[in-house]
Amino acid sequence: MKEIEGMLSAKGLRVALVASRFNSFLVEQLVKGACDAFARLGGDAGDIVLVRVPGAYEIPVTAKKLAASGKYDAIVGLGAVVQGATAHAGLINETTARAFSEIALETGVPVADGVVSADNLEQAVERCGTKQGNKGFAAMQAAVELANVLKQI
């Protein structure tokens, strides 16, 4: 039996980060985490492109354009959506998560979901680099592993 397993090696991979400017004090920690993961996995900083967009809702259309370009082995979407008094945050989170899956299926380019979804600011801070790790770091690891799996298939 032959087994295909993704390596956690970013060497030679080209990755695009799509980062929301909304809640930038949180998102910047996600960007740092993603870049740190890429470097720790042997990637070259010159192989990362960072694209800034207004908010999390704009990440998918940008990710789709990047994936369709054929220039990137993986895309990582980074944002922070904190629940307010309305259901708006839930709508954004559901829409972006579904879009990331659809883009990956349509293009064959992995799109990792590094959009933090939190009920309050404290939870968001925890998921952007304190007690609960850094979702940007974790999303980059997933993107690198899946890009390597797909290269082997």
Task: Report the C-alpha dihedral over residues 95, 100, 104, 107, rounded to 10 degrees.
Answer: 70
Catalytic residue among 11, 88, 98, 151: 88
Cross-strand pairs, 56: none
40 as an active site residue: the answer is no
Closest CA to 99 of 83, 112, 117, 81: 112
Catalytic residues: 88
